[in-house]
Structure 1
Amino acid sequence: MISYPPGSGRRVTMRGRTDPQAKMLFGVTAEDFVPANHPIRRVRALVDALLEALSPELTAMHSSWAAYWCRPST
């Protein structure tokens, strides 16, 4: 998690699920525009599963104190 805006103390993540309240604010989400049988939904499911599996490694690459503009070293 990072502090954003810098110095605000507000902790946010750069990875993870989208905010479910976005639909409440806007009435629709990007998901609403993609047909249920569209191939991109299968791609998203695959990518979500891969990112979930990589999450511990990605988390280890980020320092808890790193500034929001710092990218992890690879």
Structure 2
Amino acid sequence: MSVNNETTQTNEFEPRIIGFTCNWCSYAGADLAGVSRMKYPANIRVIRVPCSGRVNPQFVLRAFQKGADGVLVSG
């Protein structure tokens, strides 16, 4: 009996990450990456906020409640 490698699946963990990025700082880098056609994993979601200092802790908790495995707040 032979095992076909194409039909065997590996269930590797891919964390779902939410990134709250500052409009004036780190979001510009994420936007530049998109304009430059750089690729980043599909399991990362970038959310632009006016300022990282204004990210309400409830946003972070809500992300975890909705199934996020990690949250990044970047300024």
Instruction: State the TM-score, normalized to the length of structure 2.
Output: 0.26
Question: Where is the helix percentage greater, Structure 1 or Structure 2?
Answer: 1
Instruction: Give the TM-score, by structure 1 length.
Output: 0.27
Larger Rg: 2
